[in-house]
Structure formats: C-alpha cells, structure tokens
Structure 1
Amino acid sequence: MMNLLKIHHHPLFSHIPQITPPHQPNFPLKFSSLSSSSTLSLPKPSFKLSCLSKTQPLLFNNEEDKKISQFEDLAPDGVVYLKTLRLVECSMFAAVTGLVYFLSNSLSIENYFGCFFSLPIVITCMRWGVAAGRKTMVATAMLLLVLSGPVKALIYILTHGILGFTMGSLWRLGANWGLSIFLCTIARSAGAMGYILTSSFLIRENILALITVNIHTTLTLIFTATGVNIIPSMNVIYTIFGTLVLLNSGFFVFLLHLLYSVFLTRLGMKASLRLPGWLEKAL
C-alpha cells in the first residue's frame, strides 16, 4: 500500500507547479486585530513615478524637435510667416500687374497706365530684396505668356520689366539718383531697341531702317528749305536717332523717379529711400 502511494505521489507534485503562479507576492499578509468585520487587509503597494517624470521631457528636447519647432513658428517675426508673406505679396503683385497689362492692351489704353507697370517690381525689391523683384517680374511674364502669348510677355519684359527691376535693385542697394537715372535710362533705351527689333521680326519689315530714312529725309528737307546744301550721312542720322532715344528714355525715367518717390513716401517707405536733398525737403 505504501509503494502505491509513493508511485502516485511524484506525478501529483510534479504537475502542481505548472498551474501555480511562479512567484509569490513579496508583501506579507496581515489580519486586522479584533475588528468587527474581521476582514483581510492588504497593504497597498506604492509605485514611485519619479523615473517616468524625468525621462519624458528628454524625449521632446532633442535637436530634431527644436528644428521642427523653428520651422513651424508662425509668429509675426518667424521665418515661416515672413516667407509666406513674401510669397503672397509677390504673387499678388504679379497677378495684378499681369491682369492690368492684359486689359490695357485689349482696350488700347496702355499709354495711360504705362508708368505704373514697373511699380510692383520696385515695391517688391524695396520690401523683400532683389531676388523677390526678379521673381515678381518672371511670374508676371509667365502669366502674360498664358493669357496673351509669348509676344506680349516679351514686350512687357523689354519695356517695363527690365526698367522696374533695374530701378528697384538700385534703390534697394542705396544708389544715388544720378547713377540710378543713368542706368535706368540705358535699360529703358535697350528695351526700346529690343522692342523695335522684335516688331521688325514679327512684321517682316525693317522698322529701324524706316525710322532712319524718315529722319534723313526730314533733315534734308529742312536744310534745303533754309538754303543749306548739306546732305547728312547715315552715321549722323544714327547718332541723332540714338540721342533722341536716350533723351526720351532719360525724361521718362526721371519722371518715374519722381512719381515712385512720392508714391513710396505715401506708403510709409521714406526711410528706405535715398532721395536728393531738394526732393526730401519738398516731401
């Protein structure tokens, strides 16, 4: 009988550890002394969370999170805010300029608004830099390319875009009026000659030759009427033509300097301008 019990005793105890929990609780069990309810009271285990409170801030203070917070800063002085404002202003100026230029060409009133087509590029250069002015000019040309075709876009760049970009860049760099008027006159004259050559190519006619022949004929008639037997050469005609173009461009650029100075002063940008003494006293 004892042997049978020993044989069955080992499988019984060998099977028990598989269903019992492997670890016993570390805290002791205590019975409440002489309490009315005679309940079993267990001490509440306390867990310290000091380690978690120390490690959580470290997960958010690394260098990558700092970089992300800088790019996501939308404060008025933040990088993202200023870039967005520059993009919006350049797009707005390009859209307004392209639309006004398109309507003025369609309604044949370009001569009445021609002095304002370079103003958005100048304002953009003064506010956001030379690169922003160049982007505004390119954006306006691309809009005109879609609306009116490549001819109108090229004419805008030659007659107004180059002039506005040159003036805005020089004013941004703080150049005086003498240098600004001289370089803007050259830019305006070069744009006018480019416009003449482009028109000559499109209509398959040498407009420059027609202009010089007309000047030569007019001077010959004047000399003949006054009794002077002189026939001007073509070199003299070219010199007179170039001088007239420079004078026309110079007066136009000087008037643009006056107009844009008054306009930008009224916009509150007088501190960014380098005006001559007589004009600064007048304003």
Structure 2
Amino acid sequence: MSSSQHPDNSQPNDPHQKQPNPTDLARLEQELEEAEASLTYSASTSGTAASANSANSAYGRTTAPPLAMVETAFLASTASLLWLVSYYLSVGPWMRILFPIPIALVYLRWGLRASWMAAITCGLLLSVLMGPYLSLLFFIPYALLGVQLGAMWKRRLPWLPSISIGTLIATFGFFTRMWILSVFVGEDLWNYVTNRIADLLQWVLTKLVDWGLLGFEVLGQTNLTGVQIATVGMILCSDFVYVFTIHLAAWLLLERLGNPIPDPPRWVQVLMEEEKS
C-alpha cells in the first residue's frame, strides 16, 4: 500500500539524461571566480573611497574654512556695530571696553590671518557706513589692540606685558586722533591743549597764593615742557587703566565662550572673589 502511494526515489537516473560537460563546468567555475574577484575589488575600492571621504571630512572639521570665514565676518560686524552705536547713540564710555574684544576673539579661535581679516573688514565696513575718518579712528587703536591682545592671549603671556604694549598702542591712537583733528582744523591741537592746561595750572596756583597756601614766587614759573610731559604721563596712566579693564572684561566674558585668556595676577583674583562673596 505504502509503496504504491509513495514512488521509490532510489530508482537510477535515466540513462538517456544528458550528463554535464567537464568543459562547461570548468568555464562556469572560472566565471564564478572572476565575479568573486570583481566583487572583492569593488568592496576594497569603496572602502578606500569611504576612508578617503572620512579623512576629507575629518580634515574639513579640523580646518573648517567656511566656519572661520563666517565667524570672522560675524565678529567683525559685531565690532563695527559696537563702534557705530557708541558714536551715534552716545551709550557711554564703558562700551569702549568691548571694542577690541571681538577681534581678539577671532585671533583666539582662528589665528593671525583671520584677526587681520576681521580688522580690515571692520575698517572697510565703517568707511562705507561712517566715512574714512571715523573708520580710521576705530582702526587705530581699537582694531590694532584686538590683534595685539589676541596674539598675547593666544601665547598665554602674563597680563603685565600685554597691558603695557596695549597701553602704548592706545596712546599712539590718541596722538593719531589728535594729529588727524589738527589736519582737519588747521591748528596744532596738541599745543592748544597743553596751553590750556598750563593756563588752568596757573589759575590754580593763583588761587593757592590768594589763600596764603603758597608764596608769590610760584607764579609765572609754569613750564610748558613740564606740562606736556605731565600730560603724556596722564594719558599713559589713563590708557593703562583702560587696557586693564579690557583684560578684566575679556577674562570674565571669553571664559564663558570657551576661549579663556590667561589668569590675572593673584591680587586681582582675590579682589574678584571677595566681590563675588
């Protein structure tokens, strides 16, 4: 019964069935080997291309020239906007502290070339918006200060040499402004200012003599050269304090942006900790 229902599969093959040709088998094996070799080559090529693409993408992430360009343009426009708002709206002298910081931040993030690009971009943008005179007044000293401070902060130099060089740049900017104004006005404003200071000093001495605090021999002894030297000393002291406040603002601000500057002297840190407490 079961044998009739299930045919016997163990019957020998039909002797008339066509047997495979050994030549065809060899050719088929060769084609399979060639196909496998081509697939292996394609996989290795795609792996090499993928590694090259990943290397290129890693290189792009490292240098990131588009990001550097965008940040440089953004920070340059920020510095220009600060100068424009401070000049036209008269917000206050405290905003002067922020003028060099965007360009210094460009140096900290992208180096010397990007910081000079930011400084020149500020000059060109302000020359279009406000004229070449006000653009030059920003470039000297604030843009130069930004490059100088960024360079010294990048090298992790102490505050004292950084403030000292910044003071010289700020003083140079003051005398540049004085010279430009003298050219426009047609008068030596430096001599004018020092003469007015000498007159003020003479008036103070006269009052002191009237009150009996000084003798009459001090009158008429005002030395114009001494007044000029004292004026330069006062300008240097004022610029020293100004650059010091820039360092304080940058120390408090740039650390939150992920680009900290060198730590201040110990006594400054103690004062800031006492102020916070």
* TM range, smaller chain: 0.7 to 0.9
Counterparts of 2:223 and 2:256, CA distance in 1 = 50
Query: Is residue 2:213 matched to residue 1:224?
Result: no
SS in 2 for 1:78: helix
2:267 aligned residue: 278
The one-letter amino acid paired with 1:128 is W
How many positions carry a matched residue from both structures?
243
Could you give the per-residue CA deviations for residues 235-271 of structure 1, whole angstroms, max 9, x where no partner exists?
Answer: 212211211111111121222222221222343444x
- Asked if residue 106 in structure 1 is aligned to residue 106 in structure 2, the reply is no
TM, length-normalised to structure 2: 0.74
Which whole-Å CA distance do the structure 1 matches of 2:267 and 2:92 have between them? 32
Q: Distance in 2 between matches of 1:71 and 1:156?
A: 42
Quick check: 1:234 aligned with 2:224?
Answer: yes
Deviations, residues 60-87 of structure 1 (Å, cap 9, x unaligned): 788xx79973774168x82343x33222
Deviations 1:108-144 (A, max 9, x none): 3363522211111222222333333222212211211
Q: Please tell me whether residue 73 in structure 1 is matched to residue 62 in structure 2.
A: no
CA distance in 2, matches of 1:66, 1:203: 67
Unaligned runs of 5+ in 2: 1-13, 210-215
Q: 1:261 to 1:221 in 2, by over 3 A?
A: same
- Structural RMSD (CA): 3.2
- SS class of match (1:180): helix
Q: Any conservation in 2 of the 1:130–1:172 contact (CA below 8 Å)?
A: no
Q: Which residue of 1 aligns with 2:154?
A: 172
Match of residue 245 from structure 2 = 255
> For the structure 1 residues 110 and 160, does the alpha-carbon distance in structure 2 shift closer, same or farther, using more than 3 Å as the test?
farther
Mapped to 2, the partners of 1:248 and 1:163 lie a distance apart of 15
- More displaced 10-residue stretch of structure 1: 164-173 or 240-249: 164-173
Q: TM-score, normalised to structure 1's length?
A: 0.73
Q: Structure 1 residue 213 and structure 2 residue 195: aligned?
A: yes
CA distance in 2, matches of 1:95, 1:89: 10
One-letter identity of the residue aligned with 1:243: G
Structure 1: how far apart are the matches of 2:259 and 2:181? 38
Q: Distance in 2 between matches of 1:142 and 1:57?
A: 53
Q: Where does structure 1 lack aligned partners over 5 or more consecutive residues?
A: 1-31
SS in 2 for 1:73: helix
Q: Look up the equivalent residue of 1:179 and give its one-letter code.
A: P
1:36-92 CA-to-partner distances (Å, cap 9, x unmatched) read xx9xx9x68632324434554676788xx79973774168x82343x3322221111
Name the counterpart of 1:185.
167
Q: Is this contact kept in 1: 2:251–2:263, CA < 8 A? A: no
2:35 alignment counterpart: 49
Residue 73 of structure 2 aligns with an amino acid whose one-letter code is S
1:49 is matched by which residue type in structure 2? A
Q: Which residue of 2 aligns with 1:148?
A: 130
Q: 2 CA distance for matches of 1:122 and 1:245?
A: 23
CA distance in 2, matches of 1:142, 1:203: 25
Structure 2: how far apart are the matches of 1:33 and 1:176? 100
Larger RCO of the pair (alpha carbons < 8 Å, separation 6+): 2
| Higher Rg | 1
Q: Does the 8 A contact of 1:212 with 1:237 survive in 2?
A: yes
In structure 2, the CA distance between the partners of 1:67 and 1:165, relative to structure 1 (3 Å rule), is farther
CA distance in 2, matches of 1:68, 1:34: 59
* Number of the residue aligned with 2:141: 159
Structure ranking higher in helix proportion: 2
1:273 aligned partner, one-letter code: P
Q: What is the deviation of 1:156?
A: 0.4
The offset of 1:171, in angstroms, is: 1.5
Cα 1:104–1:229 shift into 2, 3 Å: closer
Does structure 1 conserve the Cα–Cα contact (< 8 Å) formed by 2:97 and 2:245? no
Query: Within the alignment, does 1:202 sit opposite 2:191 as a pair?
Result: no
